Amino acid sequence: MAIVFLSDGAAASGDVSAVNTSLFEGTLSGIVTIDTSAAKHHGYGCLKHDSGASASAYRAKNSVLADAGRRISFWYENDGLPAAANSSILRVMTSANAQVAAIIVDSAGHLRLQGGASGTTVLATGLSTLNLGQWYRIALCYTITSASVSEWRVYLDGVLELTASNPATQVTASANLRIGWAGTSPGANVIMRSSDVYVDDSTALTDPGDIWVTNKMPASLGSLNAFDTPVGTGTNRWDRVNERPVSTANRYTHAATAQATEEYGVEAAAVGEDNLTGATIVGWGAWAYFGVAAAAGSTLANIVCNGSPVATTTTVNSGLYQCQEKIAAVATYPGANATGLRSTGTTVDTNLADCGVLVAYIPGAVVNGPPRFRRPVQHWTRR
């Protein structure tokens, strides 16, 4: 089992104003903002999806899903129930953005699972009622072998809520993930919030666990700090690259042709947005908000993850900034050289604005967030 994607409540960068400014590099639809109010789940903030005048409001992450098997876990809260019976809060899409499956919340506050033909056939309806203003962890686990063979499970706070097997004419080729009001509009000015997105490639169909995701920022020099041009202000070298929301005013730039590496250690487990004392580390990934000055070098910059430069797939170029993530192949807390960037090695400038790591964990007794033990949901299981 390997982690495929992580995002904390602020999508790493603390900025979702444009398609490429957060780890959700896919479609941005409608009103989606970073909410740092007391309504957040924990940490810096959460994504706030507002249907506005009755429209969709979601963020997408492309190419993280696959028919071979995925487990998707995220935290969900809503301030109002949808007026429509098929307002999805999570959608599984093909690379061409045809619907494969969806989790919806109906007007009574029950979860429904859609799949099958066109990805819109109701496969199961839950009996638990979701309360307004309460955070829940929802997990969708699935495998698709063919249009006639597939398995689907939905867990609510770790308890099996919905299940389906082998729906007829199931749409295949899952690829893209959408979170938020992603189907029929829930009506005017209906707000939901999302946080702590976790995706792995397990085929087990089991709940991945009580996973939270937090961000840890640069707090010490790495072994290599060779970018040649400081921009803006900072007391320490890492002060220029540990801002949220991200800022390009303070950064490190490498203007020389010779390839150079800029890397950092991050805050200790007990320091920063969440106190991870006693927590179980599930995994982590390094992220960077960076840009290159011209298209010629756009695909040559490398994110530093756990001390190694990892190739990026640059989606924008010519001076525009973007946010990318690389998952580490370890499940221990990040050490020295956890995050950073290696320059392109071309004549174009490489700009590192901000970076950090996202840590997926199961909380211990201490966490900076809502009470560790929340009011349980009542569940019923069909027999």
Eight-state DSSP code of residue 378: P
Is there a contact between 59 and 178 (Cβ–Cβ < 8 Å)? yes
- For residue 378, the model assigns a pLDDT of 38
- For residue 222, the model assigns a pLDDT of 97
- For residue 254, the model assigns a pLDDT of 93
- For residue 369, the model assigns a pLDDT of 54
User: Which residues, in sequence order, are bridge partners of residue 304?
Assistant: 309, 340
3-210: CATH number: 2.60.120.200
CA–CA separation, 247 and 228 (whole Å):
19
CA–CA separation, 258 and 302 (whole Å):
14
CB count in 10 Å sphere of residue 375: 7
Tokens of 132: 């307004």
The tens place of each residue's pLDDT in the chain, 383 residues long, gives 999 999 999 999 999 999 889 999 999 999 999 999 999 999 999 999 999 999 999 999 999 999 999 999 999 999 999 987 678 999 999 999 999 999 999 999 999 999 999 999 999 999 999 999 999 999 999 999 999 999 999 999 999 999 999 999 999 999 999 999 998 899 999 999 999 999 999 999 999 999 999 999 999 999 999 999 999 999 999 999 999 999 999 999 998 888 899 999 999 999 999 999 999 999 999 999 999 887 655 567 899 999 999 987 666 666 789 999 999 999 999 999 999 999 988 877 899 999 999 999 999 865 665 443 333 343 333 32
- For residue 86, the model assigns a pLDDT of 73
> Domain spans of the chain?
3-210, 215-362
Strands 136-144 and 150-156: antiparallel
Q: How many CA atoms lie within 13 Å of 107's alpha carbon, on the beta-carbon side?
A: 7
Q: Which residues contact 229 (CB under 8 A, 6 or more apart)?
A: 252, 253, 254, 255
- For residue 257, the model assigns a pLDDT of 83
Distances from the Cα of 110 to the Cαs of 142, 156, 229, in angstroms? 20, 11, 55
Backbone angles phi, psi at 284, to 5 degrees: -160, 165
Is there a contact between 262 and 374 (Cβ–Cβ < 8 Å)? no
- For residue 372, the model assigns a pLDDT of 36
Q: Which CATH number fits domain 215-362: 2.60.120, 1.10.150, 3.40.50, 3.40.390?
A: 2.60.120
- For residue 347, the model assigns a pLDDT of 77
pTM comes to 0.94
pLDDT, tens only, 179-232: 999 988 999 999 999 999 999 999 999 999 999 999 999 999 999 999 999 999
Tokens of 94: 């093909």
CA–CA separation, 123 and 81 (whole Å):
21
Q: Supply the DSSP string of 172-184, one letter for each residue.
A: --EEEEEEEE-SS
- Asked whether this chain's domains 3-210 and 215-362 adopt the same fold, the reply is yes
- For residue 300, the model assigns a pLDDT of 76
CA angle at 11 for the pair 268 and 340, rounded to the nearest 5°: 50
Place of tokens 């995701």: 213
Place of tokens 């840590």: 359
Q: How many CA atoms lie within 13 Å of 168's alpha carbon, on the beta-carbon side?
A: 0
- For residue 231, the model assigns a pLDDT of 95
Backbone angles phi, psi at 115, to 5 degrees: -170, -145
- For residue 368, the model assigns a pLDDT of 62
- For residue 84, the model assigns a pLDDT of 73
